Amino acid sequence: MKPDATDLRILEALQDNGRMTIAELSERVGLSPSPAHRRQKLLEEAGVIDRYVAVVNPAKVGLPMQAYIFLSLDHHSEQFLSGIEADLMRCPQVLECILLAGEDDFMIHVICEGLEDFENFLKTRVRNIEGVTRIRTSFRLRSLGNGRRVRFS
C-alpha cells in the first residue's frame, strides 16, 4: 500500500495523538468521520500503522540515565547474533538492540537509575557476552524528538 496525501495527514495526526477520536481525526484531516475511520482501518490492516503505544518518560519513573553501548564481535553467525539479541532484550535496562553493518555490530540503547546501575549492567550482562572484542559507550545528554515520529514533509 502506498499512502496518498490524505493517508499521510491521518498518519501525522495519529502520531501526534494516537488516542484521538474519529471525530477529532476527521476534523483534523478534512474528511467526514466514516471515510476517516475507513482509511485509518486500512492503514492498520496494511501494517502501515504498526501499533498504538504510550511513550513513557524514563526520567519520570526513576531511570534518568540513558546510554548507547556499541559492541564489536568476533563471529557473526545468525544463530550467534540471534542469541545475543534475545539475551539482551530480556534485560529490563535495554530499550532497543540494533544489529548494525559497519564498524560495530550492535548498538544497545539502555536506561538506568544512575552510573552505579549502569556499571552493574555493563559488568554483569555486557562483559559476559561471549565473543565481544570491543565495547564503546556514549551517554545521552539531550534529545530532540522521541525518535519514533516519521515525517512526511
pLDDT, one tens digit per residue, over 89-141 is 999 999 999 999 999 999 999 999 999 999 999 999 999 999 999 999 999 99
Cell numbers representing residue 5 in the block: 496525501
Q: 58-139 has which fold? A: Alpha-Beta Plaits (3.30.70)
State the average pLDDT over residues 44-56: 94
State the average pLDDT over residues 45-54: 95
pLDDT value at position 123? 97
Confidence of residue 147 (pLDDT cuts 50, 70, 90): low
Measured distance CA(58)–CA(48) in Å, rounded: 27
- The one-character DSSP state at 152 is -
Confidence of residue 149 (pLDDT cuts 50, 70, 90): confident
End-to-end CA distance of the chain: 19
Beta-bridge mates of residue 134: 72
pLDDT value at position 52? 94
pLDDT value at position 150? 85
- pLDDT at residue 31 tops 70: yes
Between these two residues, 138 and 150, which has the higher pLDDT value?
138
- The one-character DSSP state at 128 is T
Q: C-alpha angle with apex 79: 90 to 92, nearest 5 degrees?
A: 10
What are the structural domain ranges in the chain? 5-45, 58-139
- pTM, 2 dp: 0.86
Residues 116-133: b if buried by 16+ CB within 10 A, e if exposed: ebbeebbeebbeeeeebe
Q: 5-45 has which fold? A: Arc Repressor Mutant, subunit A (1.10.10)
Phi, psi for residue 16 in degrees, rounded to 5:
-70, -40
